[in-house]
Chain A
Amino acid sequence: MEQIKIKSLEDLRKIREKSKDLSSARSGGGTTVIIGMGTCGIAAGARDILNEVMTELARRNLDDVAVQTTGCIGMCQDEPLLDVIRSGHRVTYGRVKPEDVALIVAEHVVNGRVVEKLAIGRAD
């Protein structure tokens, strides 16, 4: 690979933008996505959901989204569970299927519109 040279403040900022991901996971991110990865969640396919979330975020280059995992919260019948916390509001989606992830990311994470047909709970 040819060595990039920084020839101006703009060049520097381009590299800064490109390397944003290097420290963005450490600053918390603007929006948080939490996937239930308790035994119940994993059994219901949460691992695939997590993979799908990562693929979707990478595809859309959304690097200020913090992706966390969490344990069993007791709603095992509705796993896999996926929570989105955006502007302080927390919405829980239940029985999420891998093909739902793209929709949740596009609608809720990016545009802030809750996907009503999948939402099963909210907390502010």
Chain B
Amino acid sequence: MAIFRSHVLICGGTGCISSGANEIIGSFKKELARRKLDDEVLVVPTGCHGMCEMGPIVVVYPEGTFYCKVARNDVPEIVEEHIYKGRPVQRLMYEGTGEMPVVPHYKEIPFYGKQLRIALANCGYINPENIDEYISRGGYEALGKALSSMTPVEVIEEIKISGLRGRGGGGFPTGLKWSFCANAQGKKKYVICNADEGDPGAFMDRSILEGDPHSIIEGMMLGGYAMGADEGYIYCRAEYPLAIERLKNAIAQAEGYGLIGDNIMNSPFSFHLHIKEGAGAFVCGEETALMASIEGRRGMPRPRPPFPANSGLWGYPTNINNVETWANVPQIIVRGGDWYASMGTEKSKGTKVFALTGKVKHTGLVEVPMGITIREIIFDIGGGILNDKKFKAVQIGGPSGGCLTEEHLDTPVSYESLTALGAIMGSGGLVVMDEDNCMVDVAKFFLEFTQRESCGKCVPCREGTKHMLLLLQKITEGKGTMEDLVTLEELAYMVRDMSLCGLGQTAPNPVLTTLRYFKEEYVAHILDKRCPAGACTALLEYRILQDLCKKCGICAKNCPVHCIPGDRTSGYLIDNDRCIRCGTCFEKCPFGAIEKK
């Protein structure tokens, strides 16, 4: 077998593909063949590296040189200079600061420095379309270990010791959940992977599905073995075509090796796995709605109990875990529950993957040990706020989470600490906001999402979120009253306490936390008819500062609704009745003579 002296890893995650990774892969192959290097250099498409903003990302081994924003034209240079002549291309390396103007290696980049990758260990490191690469990194070793030397009870015990909790947001202890299902009576049992990731700004599950599908499959099989289930479903939204394609391929390869099928590794354990493509309804992330959808019914939740562990899919005992939870399982079995429990805080063990988005310098995917502070995630790993503006708030846990402020930045991240502040761990979305974000507008944005995604089964969620949204619209248009604020809060508690499922129960969180931490912004909208951040267009007013104005007429020429009358001798004035507050004049004025307030 030929040995490849160098491996060129090219990120093939959705983020990098959209910035041209597939073209890069093609040009690398072409260029290497042209220079007759193709039998000593291997091109490996991988999953997501996490630093999506710097994509397409190329890592050249054995040196581990990290190249950012690689374009097709850069490929011949990398091949000739680095791979052939051994001179890494400095201009494509990550730009550092101070003593280290360029950062050549993966591990020295601050974005990766504080990360601890367990669920993402293989993402960006192996080719997700080749099962042998997964096996070469110790894949399916956990399954082999469990089938040959552990009883199902021992597997559950190990998960209990690890302290692993549901990574989908609920945070329920995984080992305990498994034991419920294991103890339930049923002639058939199911395990399900919840891959219905739908929060705005969240993509950690997608990255694991795309970058390391076998870790999820192996985790589910271990769960199946522990609970006595011989069939599994992965419920993945159809909007993730690449994830589904790679999952299908991974299942086929595992079946080819006999790792999925009957009497796996000559043991009595058999397991079959299916993919169910969901139509992308947010509510189908709720477990009872998800199961209804698999059964072919309309995706709506039902009251619990009975819990899925006793009566789940088609009435049989069923266990549902999130993608990230399953991906952690194989390593816990191989390395032991104590190893996993050695990381994190007292009640929240291990690591958590966060999707860092919004007004932060390095958006992307990060995996950090529990107990790290929010400040470390945003400022040390994320590099701080975009354009060096001022940090204002961070929305944790997606539309079901809450906004936290500057004073909470030093809170160690754990399930308990976030819940105490009114946010939730959720699936791990972190949307960073700066001084230009209006908090009322943000609350409205998230509520618009949950309101639209409400399935309509229970009244509090269907009607409550609708009316909360109407109140927020009224406030952002400057038509709100102080009484509306009281009604809004009252409604929020009502929806939270009376809704049937998690969607409604958590939907008011953005409103409640912004009311709690940013009440003065609501009041400014109502009493002063003013949006302090200058984001709510209905409350904005543009004005020409006559002493700065040079009467050049650029504003008038660019105004799309021609509402700046005047001429070059007498000057210009904005007609606020006709102004649509698009901000074009503000942007175009070369003298900064237009004021926005």
Write the residues of chain A forming the contact surface with B, with a CB cutoff of 8 angstroms. 3-9, 11-12, 15-16, 18-26, 28-29, 32, 34-39, 42, 50-51, 53-54, 57-58, 61-63, 66-71
Contacts and interface: CB of A to CB of B under 8 A. Distances in A.
B125 A26 contact: yes
Contacts of A58: 1-3
B136 A25 contact: no
Nearest to B145: A9
A8 B148 CA distance: 8
Contacts, number: 121
A25 B42 contact: yes
A23 B126 contact: yes
A72 to B, nearest CB: 9
A26 B87 contact: no
A69 B63 CA distance: 10
Contact of B62 (A36, A66, A70): A66
Contact of B256 (A3, A28, A39, A54): A3
Interface residues of B, number: 41
15 contacts: A4-B257, A9-B148, A16-B135, A16-B141, A20-B136, A22-B136, A23-B126, A25-B4, A38-B86, A53-B5, A57-B5, A67-B5, A67-B6, A68-B62, A71-B86
Contact of A15 (B9, B87, B132, B147): B132
Most buried by B among A22, A42, A63, A69: A22
A55 B8 CA distance: 20
Contacts of B40: 50-51, 54
Contacts of A19: 132-133, 135-136
A3 B83 CA distance: 35
A23 B125 contact: yes
B135 A15 contact: yes
Nearest to A38: B85
Nearest to A8: B265
A75 B5 CA distance: 24
Nearest to B261: A5
A102 B135 CA distance: 32
B144 interface: yes
Contacts of B61: 25-26
Interface in B164-191: none
Contact of A5 (B7, B127, B148, B258): B258
Interface in B1-60: 1-7, 9, 40, 42
B136 A37 contact: no
A22 B87 contact: no
A68 B85 contact: no
B138 to A, nearest CB: 7
A-B residue pairs, 7 tightest by C-beta: A69-B86, A66-B62, A67-B5, A9-B144, A70-B86, A19-B132, A19-B136
A21 B126 contact: no
A23 B133 contact: yes
A99 to B, nearest CB: 20
Most buried by B among A4, A9, A11, A63: A9
B146 to A, nearest CB: 10
Contacts of B570: none
Most buried by B among A5, A23, A24, A28: A23
Contacts of A39: 85
A69 B83 contact: yes
B136 A16 contact: yes
Nearest to A3: B256
Contacts of A16: 135-136, 138, 141
